Homo-oligomer: A and B are copies of this chain.
Amino acid sequence: MCEANAYLWKDGEEKMIFENVDRVQPHEGGLLLEDIFGRRLFLDARIKELALVDHKIILEEIEK
């Protein structure tokens, strides 16, 4: 399976926040993440980088 883990980039560090992510959909004001079990998480964040071979989705918070 080629799911990835989502990390929040903050203060120069990556912190894992959601595992086994299958789908990611940008929406106004944030991102909807869905894992391989259908669990969903909405975050006030945007994609900073994807590194798929490393199974990483790196996110950063949206400043408000």
> Among the listed B2, B25, B46, B47, which residue makes an inter-chain contact with A2, where contact means beta carbons less than 8 Å apart?
B2
- The chain B residue with its CB closest to the CB of A21 is B52
Interface residues of A, CB < 8 Å — how many? 21
Cβ–Cβ < 8 Å partners of A50 in chain B: 23-25, 50, 57
- The chain B residue with its CB closest to the CB of A1 is B53
Please report A residues at the B interface, Cβ cutoff 8 Å: 1-4, 21-26, 36, 46-53, 55, 57
User: A42 to chain B: closest CB distance in Å?
Assistant: 15
User: A26 to chain B: closest CB distance in Å?
Assistant: 6
> Among the listed B1, B4, B49, B55, which residue makes an inter-chain contact with A23, where contact means beta carbons less than 8 Å apart?
B49
Q: Which 5 residue pairs spanning A and B have beta carbons closest together? A: A2-B2, A24-B50, A22-B53, A25-B49, A2-B52
